Structures are given as C-alpha cells and as structure tokens.
C-alpha cells in the first residue's frame, strides 16, 4: 500500500484495516543507539516480544527513499551494519531523503509521523527527546515534543532521556497539552533510572485502563499523543550518583568538543556506556524490551474496543 509516498507492508496494511493490534517501532535505535550486532539482535528481539504479547511489530525506516512501515529482517540487518552511515531522520528530513532516494533511520518524531500516516495508534520506543539541559546556551528542543502534540498516537517510553533537562521537558509537554500517564507510578522515570524527582499527575494500573482512556480522548476529538511513562525494570535501574556523574561528565565533554544537534544523543549514550562499564547499554536494551511489551498489551486492548 502507498499512502502519500509511504509503503506499508501488506501484512501491516491488512492488520490496520481489520483493527488488529500493531505496534510501531523506530529504527534510530538500530543505527545510532548501539553497536553491531547488538543493535540488530535487540531490534529483532523487540519484534519477537511484541508478537509474544499478542500484537504485530511494524519497524519503520526509510529504505532507498521509500518510507517503509514494516521493514524486513534483512533491512533491519542492513541498517544495523551500516550504523551511523544511515541518516538519522527526523520528520524534516523525510522529503529530502525521498527525493534523493537515500536511507534514513527514523527518530521518535519521524516514526510518529509515519505511524500516524499509516493509521497505527501505538508506538513503543526507548525514551522521548526533550529540552536540552544547556537550553540557556543552545536553543535545543527536540522536534519529538512538537510532533507529539500533532499526532494521535500513544507513545510508550521510559520517560525522557536522562541526558536532558527533565523539568523543562515536562513543562514543555504541559504547554503543548500532551497528557503524561505513569504506568503504575506517580513519578516520571528518567530513562536509566526509575526516579527523576518529578511527580506526574496521573497513574494508571493496567493496559486496558490506558486503552480505554486513549479511545475516549480521540473520540472526543482531543488531538495529540499521550506519553505512557513506563519505568525501567527495577533489576536494571542505574541508581543515583553513578548515572548522574556519568551524565554530567559526558555532557561536559560534548559541550567542550562542540558536539551539537542530532549528534548529541548518540555521542552521550556512547560516552555514558563507557563510563558505566556497559551498565547503561544493558539498561537501555531492557527498558526497550519492557516498553514494547507494554505497547503490545495496550495495542491488544485497544483493538478490542468497538470502533463506533
């Protein structure tokens, strides 16, 4: 199926038409999130977890200039092998990559846009972007936040990446009227850690409760996404001083080296992994697994709700 130059894999097209549960997955985590072959193994395992929990994964990327909803295992491996040679694609990059017939690994903003265009209502990722912690020096706000205000998609994440200014990120989300739901928690998670020190207003206890809320919101015509904040499993939580020290050190190095724009996040994650002796990579992988599992459960419950 082609929707305004977007290719939707036949299986995904059929499932969307039949209101069957589908979970969108991004591809930047494959190209820029971790080294090969761990990136490919993680992506394929994430797809398996979605299937094990009653939904179908739709990993999204731009392949040879074609935005593709539901890329193949071979295409996942291709993105993983080529890594940072693949363009890290936000929404603004999509038309350029199409025109130039180039490849792109989709960020949260681009995945949101493409998933919504195809009619997918649930998207599971690692962490959303946000307001940079040095916002006073560089006016850096992730386009993820703006796109969240425009598309009717539930985004399951482990909060905002802990390299960001979480307080300012939450304020921006509030300004954009983007609801935040804590899954079994009243504290906004900080990606590698279950705790950020910032409370969130609403907690929901089950995927069904979340699915019912999503249906009501969109039936009322209230546009925009919902952030479902799912804390990293306790076993993999990197506590307090260790991660705070690693983040501070990595951020200072990035600032000194003049690293900016969409290169900041992959650089910082790599530095933090080195400083934590691999603990942050293990945490990153397992928080993704937890998020795609919850995403599948929410998608499954949402598909049970009558359309009218």
Active site residues: 26, 161
E strands, the chain, where? Answer: 2-3, 6-8, 22-25, 56-63, 66-69, 87-89, 104-106, 122-124, 154-157, 180-183, 202-204, 226-229
Q: Where are the alpha helices (DSSP H) in 53-185?
A: 73-82, 94-100, 108-118, 143-148, 166-175
Residue 43 vs residues 14, 50, 260: alpha-carbon distances, Å: 23, 11, 27
Contact 46, 35 (CB under 8 A): no
d(CA 274, CA 280): 8
Contacts of 132 (CB under 8 A, 6+ apart): 138, 140, 141, 164, 165, 264
Contacts of 72 (CB under 8 A, 6+ apart): none
Comparing CA positions, the residue from 61, 62, 60, 65 lying closest to residue 100 is 65
d(CA 156, CA 228): 5
Sign, CA torsion 164/166/168/170: positive
């Amino acid at each position: 199926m082609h929707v305004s130059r977007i290719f939707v894999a036949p299986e995904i097209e059929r499932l969307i038409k039949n209101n069957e549960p589908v979970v969108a997955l991004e591809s930047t985590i494959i190209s820029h999130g971790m080294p090969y072959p761990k990136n490919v193994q993680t992506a394929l395992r994430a797809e398996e977890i979605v299937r094990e929990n009653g939904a179908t994964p739709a990993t999204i990327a731009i392949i040879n200039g074609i935005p593709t909803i539901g890329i193949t295992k071979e295409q996942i491996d291709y993105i993983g092998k080529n890594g940072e040679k693949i363009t890290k694609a936000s929404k603004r990059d999509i038309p350029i990559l199409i025109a130039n017939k180039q490849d792109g690994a989709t960020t949260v903003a681009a995945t949101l846009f493409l998933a919504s265009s195809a009619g997918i209502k649930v998207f599971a990722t690692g962490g959303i972007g946000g307001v940079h912690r040095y916002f006073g020096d560089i006016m850096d706000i992730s386009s993820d936040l703006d796109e969240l205000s425009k598309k009717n998609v539930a985004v399951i994440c482990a909060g905002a990446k802990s390299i960001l200014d979480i307080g300012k990120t939450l304020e921006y989300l509030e300004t954009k009227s983007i609801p935040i739901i804590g899954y079994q928690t009243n504290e906004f998670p900080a990606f590698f850690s279950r705790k950020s020190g910032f409370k969130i207003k609403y907690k929901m206890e089950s995927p069904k409760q979340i699915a019912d809320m999503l249906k009501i919101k969109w039936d009322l015509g209230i546009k925009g996404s919902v952030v479902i904040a799912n804390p990293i499993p306790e076993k993999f939580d990197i506590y307090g001083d260790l991660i705070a020290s690693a983040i501070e050190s990595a951020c200072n190095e990035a600032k000194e080296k003049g690293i900016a724009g969409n290169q900041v996040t992959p650089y910082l994650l790599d530095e933090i992994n080195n400083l934590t002796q691999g603990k942050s990579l293990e945490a990153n992988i397992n928080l993704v697994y937890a998020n795609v599992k919850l995403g599948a459960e929410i998608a499954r419950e949402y598909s049970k709700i009558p359309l009218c």
